[in-house]
Amino acid sequence: MGLFADHQWCPADAEVAMKRLAGTPTLVLGCLLLFFARRMFAATEAATAMVWVAVGLIILSFGLRIPKRQNVVAELRAAERTLLRFHFLSLVGLLIYGFSTAEGRELIGRPLPPPGSPDDLGLILELAWPLVVALGLLPLLMLERALAPMTLAGQVVSRRFHGVRRLALTLVMAIAAILFLNVSAHYRSMSWDLSDNRSAKPGTASQAMVRRLEQPLEVLLFFPRANDVLQKVERYFAALEGGDQIKVSLHDRLLEPELAKKHKVVQEGSVVLKSGDSSRLWQVGAKKSTARSRLKKLDAEFQKQLHKLMHAQGRTAYLVTGHGEINQRGETAPTRVRFLQEVLRRLGYDLKDLSLKNGLGRKVPDDAGLVLLLGPMEGLSEAEGRSLSKYFSEGGRLLMGWQPESKPLPQVLLKAFGLRQDPHVLMHDKLHLARRRDASDRNLIVTGAFASHPAVSTLARGQRPMGVILGAAGAIHKNAPEKNVKVSFTLRSMPDTWADSNGDGLQQKAQEKGQVHQLGAAVVHEREGSDGKALVYGDADLFTDEQMGALGNRYLLIDGLNWLADEESFSGTTDQVEDLPVQHSRSEDALIFHGTVFGLPLLVLAGGLTYLRRRRRS
């Protein structure tokens, strides 16, 4: 039979029941008036009057709900008692809301704490009142809507009434779960950035630099609080494993004007690195629109500023010009080594040109921390060769790349290195890039063979294979170096690489045998004090912007420069965030299209049919 059987009652009973249903609209009206008074008209004089009117309506609604005579039949009386319980639960929720206000907190002797202070009671009340109100009001509305036509018809259907009650309570529980999940996510602020548009994280090179700091590093962040960019910057510096060597602090430029003036901070979004009496300032930006691209290069910029901080006295890198080098600043190739120049600046070097007309024929300048000779197509004079040779033997540092088709280097310079040039271009039939898709592409060789040497440490121990691209490279041979000169080959070609001795681009297997060739050498001139160091490669084009698109070429350059500067412990990866387009094949696009248009709707339909079938069986 259930709780309510089919039962007929007199029209007077139905009229009394319908009057009691009027209590719910009165309750809803009171709640809406209270909401408007506290939210929209809180700053007006009418707010207090609206609150009292709302309280009166809420009390009146409960009075309308209470039965005034007991001659209603048992079935309807049981339904009314159920509605009365939910109505009372709504009033309890509104009472809890009253205690959560400033006036209510004063009434119970627990006033609101100062802003920013923990308030456990306030959190409990803020969670409790909307949940209790929903637990009473939502079932009340749904049950009254279901009960109204039954009352007019003089008949109550037990199964439908209880089904509506279960549905209402289920919805309230779902709302409660979402509410608690939202609060938990707010107070346990954790985020996972799964997009390619993430911010940078410290690379292994940055970690190594921080570990080698001789003085503590202070990082001063001048950002407004509650800033999205600040969160990513703080996350980056928190990931640096510096221990007591690094201290990060947040400052407000407007509240601390003296500190901002001291470090020349004039706008929000500034980062200051301070060590001892030296400091470096750079801008990240406080707005997402301006900081997005800078956040992607945050790790590289940090390394650049830290290098300059560690070398506050400055150091200079001279690029040899005047012989058709790839770095020559002519109109035909103004930006061919832009990446190389940027890396040098990031490592704290000031860049200058060095040629015969500004003293190379006499000596290398005393302030030279590094000299680069990259692909001279025309021959150097003997005087220039002697200057570079003397600079190397006295502890200087050189980075060299020569081209097989260029004029030979002075013998005095080659003798200082203990090396010999090979004039033939190396080629490979399979391991090369495709540029013109003809025989000329064979000289654009790729190699992934590296020695165990600090100048190629990242490439040698890389977790993923990275290749180095060389264009028209030549082999390097050891040539009776002096006793105090140590030659270590660091880069070699892949097997079956052959030297094109006749220049036709075709392998003559009888004379041009495929084998492994040496492509790079690290040379050390041992002496008292600072040793001379040189990195010599059989190709200069590997340092051009075109070849620097390969990750292997970048690490070959950076690790080599660190080794030349006696900073090989700084070698490692630099986190560089790049937006990569997601590309699909035509078959993948078709699968995604048909899956979303037909697959998902069919899946939902199948689930619904299965549920209905099981329900009918039960």
Q: Which residues pair with 523 in a beta bridge?
A: 487, 534
pLDDT band at 389 (very low <50, low <70, confident <90, very high): very high
Average pLDDT over residues 577-598: 54
> Across residues 359-369, what is the average pLDDT?
89
- Please report, for residues 234, 267, 268, 575, the alpha-carbon distance to residue 254 in angstroms, rounded to integers and kept in the order given: 20, 9, 9, 33
**pLDDT, tens only, 151-202:** 666 666 677 777 888 888 888 888 888 877 777 776 666 665 555 455 677 8
**376, 402 contact by CB (below 8 A):** yes
The continuous run of DSSP H or E covering 294 comes out as helix 288-296
- Beta strands 270-275 and 278-283 are antiparallel
Q: Residue 587 phi/psi, 5° resolution? A: -65, -35
**Token pair belonging to 426:** 């190396």
Cα–Cα separations (whole angstroms), residue 66 to 76, 150, 178? 13, 20, 34
CA distance 148 to 491: 87
**Of 172 and 340, which is predicted with more confidence?**
340
Find residue 325's DSSP bridge partners: none
- Percentage of the chain beyond pLDDT 90 is 11
Q: Could you identify the residue written with the tokens 């059989």?
A: 538
DSSP H or E run through 500: strand 498-500
pLDDT of 490 reads: 92
CA distance 226 to 240: 22
Confidence of residue 382 (pLDDT cuts 50, 70, 90): very high
pLDDT of residue 388: 93
Q: Which amino acid is at 553?
A: N
Looking at 22-36, 270-284, 472-486, 561-575, which range is the least confident one? 561-575
Task: Check pLDDT > 60 for residue 343.
Answer: yes
Instruction: Tell me the CA distances in angstroms from 120 to 127, 128, 179, 514, one per residue in order.
Output: 11, 12, 17, 77
Contact 490, 418 (CB under 8 A): no
Residue 192: predicted pLDDT: 59
Task: Could you list the beta-strand ranges (E) of 29-159.
Answer: none
Average pLDDT over residues 591-600: 69
Q: Given this model, what pLDDT does residue 182 score?
A: 76
Strongest mean pLDDT among 167-181, 296-310, 549-563: 549-563
DSSP per residue, 356-395: GGGTTTT---TTEEEEEEE--SSPPPHHHHHHHHHHHHTT
How buried is residue 303: exposed, middle or buried, by Cβ count under 10 Å (0-12/13-18/19+)? buried
Residues in the chain: 618
pLDDT digits (tens, 9 = 90+) for 249-262: 888 888 888 888 88
Q: Which of the residue ranges 44-48, 174-178, 383-387 would you say has the lowest mean pLDDT?
A: 44-48
Taking CA 423 as the corner, what is the angle to CA 421 and CA 426, rounded to the nearest 5 degrees? 105
List pLDDT tens digits, range 443-475: 888 888 888 888 888 888 765 667 888 888 888
Q: Rounded to an integer, what distance in angstroms lies between the CA atom of residue 54 and that of residue 47?
A: 10
Give the chain's largest Cα–Cα span: 124
- Residue 454's nearest CA partner among 393, 533, 395, 392 is 533
* CB burial readout 554-563, b (16+ within 10 A) else e: bbbbbbbbbb
pLDDT tens digit string along 54-111? 888 888 877 777 765 554 556 666 777 788 888 888 888 888 888 888 788 888 888 8
Neighbours of 141 (CB within 10 A): 17
Average pLDDT rounded to a whole number, residues 563-583: 62
> Which carries the bigger pLDDT value, residue 328 or residue 196?
328
Of 335, 461, 320, 448, the closest CA to residue 391 belongs to 320
Domain boundaries, the chain: 11-187, 204-308, 314-570
Confidence (pLDDT) at 383 = 92
pLDDT for residue 155: 64
Q: Average pLDDT over the chain, rounded to whole?
A: 79
Please work out, in degrees rounded to the nearest 5, the angle formed at the alpha carbon of residue 611 by the alpha carbons of 606 and 613.
95
607 Cβ contact partners less than 8 Å away, ≥ 6 residues apart: none
The fold adopted by the segment(s) 204-308 is: Glutaredoxin (3.40.30)
When pLDDT is averaged across residues 389-409 and rounded to a whole number, the result is 90
H or E stretch covering 65: helix 46-65
- The CATH class of the 314-570 domain is alpha beta
Token pair listed for 366 = 């005393």
Average pLDDT over residues 438-442: 74
Q: What is the pLDDT of residue 331?
A: 47
Q: Which residue has the higher pLDDT, 583 or 577?
A: 577
Query: Which pTM value belongs to this model?
Result: 0.53
Mean pLDDT computed over 543-571: 83
What are the beta bridge partners of residue 279?
Answer: 274
Which residue shows structure tokens 């007991």? 70
